[in-house]
Amino acid sequence: MTQQNTRLGIGLMVLTTMIFAAQDAISRHLASEYNVLMVVMIRYWFFAAFVIAVASRKAGGLRRAAATEQPLLQGFRGLLLALEICVTVVAFVLLGLVETHAVFACYPLLIAALSGPVLGERVGWRRWTAIGVGFVGMLVILQPGVKVFSPAALVPLAAAFMFALYGLLTRYAARRDSAATSFFWTGTVGAVAMTAIGIWFWEPMTGPDWAWMALLCVTGASGHFALIKTYEVAEASAVQPFAYLQLVFVTAIGLLVFGETLEPNVAIGAVIVVSAGIFTLLRAHKAAKG
């Protein structure tokens, strides 16, 4: 039964990565035409509505979902994720999907590196070695000293750091709050924060782009729903390595739809970073099992 659930979880994770890859492609299109803050704001309106709908159907309803003893932590998590999404979408416009995701793929390594100082977890020499190897992969992608370094490459790196910190704070919050509570705060705080900022950058949109915006909202909600179902049927450690398939799907979209190019150094560096990331995930799983 466990094996069957794991297979289902892997299938759901692959589906999740495909949905999120499509979401990133739509975000890239819309952000190249309209203000990033407005695009993310509208996306969060739908996300918050989805989060509230999910919470209201569970036992205890919205009151139980919102109940937390650490509101400052939960609020900061929600704000951090909203800002990270904005930074990532900006990176899509500046660098394209392929290079952004190649750099962003280092976030599991950042989580492993920061889990010690933030969560007090022990990181063994094998994982530190993998983190070092992943850093080498980042140097291969960025090529400092080989060509003129693009400051724009720091944008997805900043997004990866923000997402890693968000992941660590989510794990920290899980010590006292349920996943449903963290999910509720993520959606609602993000929506409030983005509305306060994004409403000042409102621009009229064309009819076709409103259709793309609707599809962006649907992919966001369906992607999170698929991810929730993934973790319901399988252990996170068993399915998490398959999350890297998003890099494959996004690269294919970037090449075929947006006419981006895949430089050899980006491809080689991404393989190094992903390999190191998968190793750290497997080592973390083994350490957790004792």
How many structural domains is the chain composed of? Answer: 1
**Percent of the chain's residues with pLDDT above 70:** 94
pLDDT of residue 122: 78
Nearest residue to 164 (alpha-carbon basis) of 88, 242, 267, 66: 88
List the single range of 26-40, 97-111, 256-270, 273-287 with lowest mean pLDDT. Answer: 273-287
Stretch 258-272: mean pLDDT: 91
Q: Which domain holds residue 191?
A: 2-288
Question: For 159-197, what is each residue's pLDDT tens digit?
Answer: 999 999 998 998 889 889 888 899 999 999 999 999 999
Q: What local confidence, expressed as pLDDT, does residue 124 receive?
A: 81
For residue 61 the two structure tokens come to: 């309803």
Task: Give the distance, in angstroms, between the CA of residue 178 and the centroid of all CA atoms in the same chain.
Answer: 20
Asked if 114 and 121 touch (Cβ cutoff 8 Å), the reply is no
pLDDT tens-digit profile of 188-203?
999 999 999 999 999 9
State yes or no: pLDDT of 45 exceeds 50: yes
Tell me the whole-structure pTM to 2 decimals.
0.90
Output the pLDDT for position 28.
96
Task: Give the number of other Cβ atoms within 10 Å of residue 3's Cβ.
Answer: 8
Provide the pLDDT for residue 219.
94
Residue 288: the pLDDT is 67
| Cα dihedral: 177, 183, 185, 186 (round 10) | 130
Mean pLDDT (the chain, rounded):
88
Residue 145: pLDDT over 60: no
Give me the pLDDT at residue 152, please.
84
* 201-258: pLDDT as tens digits: 999 999 999 999 999 999 988 988 888 888 888 777 778 888 888 999 999 999 999 9
- Give the model's pLDDT for residue 1: 39
pLDDT for 157 equals 92
Burial of 1 per CB tally in 10 Å (0-12, 13-18, 19+): exposed
d(CA 200, CA 37): 9
Rounded-to-integer distance, Cα 238 and Cα 115, Å: 20
Residue 27 has a pLDDT of 96
Total residues found in the chain within this entry: 290
User: Position 61: which residue type?
Assistant: G
Radius of gyration of the chain, Cα coordinates, nearest whole angstrom: 19
- Please give the distance of CA 111 from its chain centroid, rounded to a whole number: 13
| Tens digit of each residue's pLDDT (9 = 90 or more) over 60-84 | 889 999 999 999 999 999 999 999 9
End-to-end C-alpha distance for the chain, whole angstroms? 23
Range name among 16-30, 37-51, 136-150, 234-248 with the lowest pLDDT average? 136-150
